[in-house]
Chains A and B, each alone.
Chain A
Amino acid sequence: MEFPKGELDLREMQSLEGHNDRVWSLAWNPASGAAGVPAMLASCSGDKTARIWKQGPSGSFDCMAVLEDAHTRTVRSCAWSPCGKLLATTSFDATTAIWEHIGSDFECISTLEGHENEVKSVSWNASGSLIATCSRDKSVWIWEMQSGKEFECVSVLQGHTQDVKMVQWHPLIDVLVSVSYDSTIKVWAEDGDDDWHCVQTIDEACSGHSSTVWALSFNESGDRMVTCSDDLTLKIWDTSGTPSESSDDVPRPWRHVYTLSGFHDRTIFSVNWSREGVIASGAADDAICLFVESKEKMDGPFFSLVMKKEKAHAMDVNSVQWNPKNPRILASASDDGTIKIWELAEISG
């Protein structure tokens, strides 16, 4: 798929309604959306439910399931296992629920307890053997899947001094990154002895953020990541070469390469890097921005704005996620209770 060369626009394809409260997070099922399997999207909300949306033959999405009665408070985030058969949902009720897709139903097969308060994010590693969760209790927990799809906590990572907002596993190796209300980014790795520890902390002094970091996203190859913050900037980080997984090496440190500022005037809640290299951001200014790395030869990496979609939603944009199988399709979630499906296309004429 060749990336369009002309002027681009984000075209609204559909607005999905159904949730009765703000929609916090979205996750595309990684095993669907290609080879005849219809695309599937999970969303979660302040209405205490998660919803599964499936793309029909006409191309439009319909709600195929409402996952309820598992959480007693806001469902804050959701993430699919790499095989696409399991969905993890986290809640302000301090638990993480694991759902299995059986036929056309979703059944809650497990509940992970342990955090002291709101669980804010969940991420599966590349092989699907580990789950990481984080919470306002300042800790990050790593859980290992056992036989029978049970999960056992293998590590409780302390280090952040405040609320941890999001965790994301590296797309290729078992390195975990967390971002926090304490304005730092932390990188966690295992020393080969099942011992997890923090191998790098990026704070304001290392060109890091000056306020709460809300989200992060890796590029496809995993040598870059982008973070977004309440300080109104997005920052690009690079780890030259591929981080090594061997027990003798510590992963190469992440260095700051670029800061994007002046594009959003309120807190940036979400950022996501597409397979084609387009960075999407969603913020409290109701807008969605798209950025790419400049092709021009500059003195070092340079990123620029492709477009800003003002009033993408009627209220704050909480999550933006590119469809992993079709990188021109973007889903966004908002305080206005809706989810929108967008298509990145060239403006004709």
Chain B
Amino acid sequence: MVTGLINANPVVYERKERHLRSSPVVIDEYAVEPIDQLEIFEHVRDIKDPEHPYSLEELKVVTEDSIELDDQQSYVRVTFTPTVEHCSMATVIGLCLRVKLMRSLPSRYKVDIRVAPGTHATEAAVNKQLNDKERVAAALENPRLLEMVDECLAATYI
């Protein structure tokens, strides 16, 4: 039985410099701005890792490039890299990503979450759970789990 943290000494990376986006010259209030990779990344970069006081960006669990999207098709896939191969927090991280995007993106969006291939011992099992809508819905009705997820997401709403 593992006591204590799964990964007591994670590698912490620098946060990418944030650029303020320049405002568009023509402001059309009714224009729907296409969603891009950076916007998706901004929704998830500050999600706190469940075990450490660092963000998923700082731990390189997600990067801008790990996000694939097609706004026309309303599709996004986020690939995340757990800090260790046997990370049992992988499903919690995946759940955090899913919940944050569910709350931030238009309802037309289809979201796939997966573990980066080769980075987790039970990759297929984790991916299957994270992409089973019924399993996710039931998990989020578990108050303890929901509390954990909300704690990880708290920093992203500021």
Pair from one complex: yes
Binding site for A on B (CB under 8 A): 107-108, 110, 128, 132-135, 137-138, 141
Q: Which residue of A is nearest B129, CB measured? A: A181
Given contacts A136-B138, A163-B135, 14 further A-B contacts (CB under 8 A): A74-B141, A117-B138, A118-B134, A118-B138, A165-B134, A181-B132, A211-B128, A212-B128, A212-B132, A230-B132, A284-B110, A284-B133, A315-B107, A315-B108
A100 CB to closest chain B CB (Å) equals 27
Q: B141: which A residues are within 8 A, CB to CB?
A: 73-74, 92
Say if the beta carbon of A223 comes within 8 Å of chain B.
no
B72 CB to closest chain A CB (Å) equals 14
- Cβ 8 A contact of A92, one of B132, B133, B138: B138
Say if the beta carbon of A46 comes within 8 Å of chain B.
yes
In whole angstroms, how far apart are the Cα atoms of A163 and B137 in the complex?
14
Say if the beta carbon of A340 comes within 8 Å of chain B.
no
Q: Are B107 and A336 in contact (CB under 8 A)?
A: yes
Total interface residues on A, using CB and 8 Å? 25
Using an 8 Å CB-CB cutoff, how does the interface string of A126-138 with B read, 1 for contact, 0 for none?
Answer: 0000000000100
Binding site for B on A (CB under 8 A): 22, 46, 73-74, 76, 92, 117-118, 120, 136, 163, 165, 181, 211-212, 230, 266-267, 284-285, 314-316, 335-336
Q: B134: which A residues are within 8 A, CB to CB?
A: 76, 118, 120, 165
Q: Interface on chain B toward A: helix, strand, loop, or mixed SS? A: helix
A167 CB to closest chain B CB (Å) equals 15
B77 CB to closest chain A CB (Å) equals 12
In whole angstroms, how far apart are the Cα atoms of A12 and B66 in the complex?
40
Q: A76: which B residues are within 8 A, CB to CB?
A: 134
15 A–B contacts, CB within 8 A, in A order: A22-B137, A46-B137, A74-B141, A92-B138, A118-B134, A136-B135, A136-B138, A165-B134, A181-B135, A212-B132, A230-B132, A266-B110, A284-B110, A284-B133, A285-B110
Q: Are B137 and A316 in contact (CB under 8 A)?
A: no
Q: Which residue of A is nearest B107, CB measured? A: A315
- Cβ 8 A contact of B133, one of A285, A314, A316: A316
Q: A118: which B residues are within 8 A, CB to CB?
A: 134, 138
In whole angstroms, how far apart are the Cα atoms of A266 and B110 in the complex?
9
Q: B107: which A residues are within 8 A, CB to CB?
A: 314-315, 335-336
| Known contacts A46-B137, A92-B141; is-contact A314 B108 (Cβ 8 Å) | yes
B74 CB to closest chain A CB (Å) equals 10
Q: B128: which A residues are within 8 A, CB to CB?
A: 181, 211-212
Q: A46: which B residues are within 8 A, CB to CB?
A: 137
Q: A212: which B residues are within 8 A, CB to CB?
A: 128, 132
- Ranked nearest first, the 3 interchain pairs of A and B with the lowest CB-CB distance are A118-B138, A92-B138, A73-B141
Q: B132: which A residues are within 8 A, CB to CB?
A: 181, 212, 230
In whole angstroms, how far apart are the Cα atoms of A156 and B110 in the complex?
37
B113 CB to closest chain A CB (Å) equals 14
In whole angstroms, how far apart are the Cα atoms of A230 and B107 in the complex?
21
Q: B135: which A residues are within 8 A, CB to CB?
A: 136, 163, 181
Q: A267: which B residues are within 8 A, CB to CB?
A: 133
Q: Are B137 and A74 in contact (CB under 8 A)?
A: yes
Q: Which residue of B is nearest A181, CB measured? A: B132
In whole angstroms, how far apart are the Cα atoms of A136 and B107 in the complex?
27
Q: Which residue of A is nearest B109, CB measured? A: A315
A132 CB to closest chain B CB (Å) equals 18
Q: Which residue of A is nearest B73, CB measured? A: A265
A104 CB to closest chain B CB (Å) equals 31
Q: Are A74 and B108 in contact (CB under 8 A)?
A: no
B122 CB to closest chain A CB (Å) equals 14
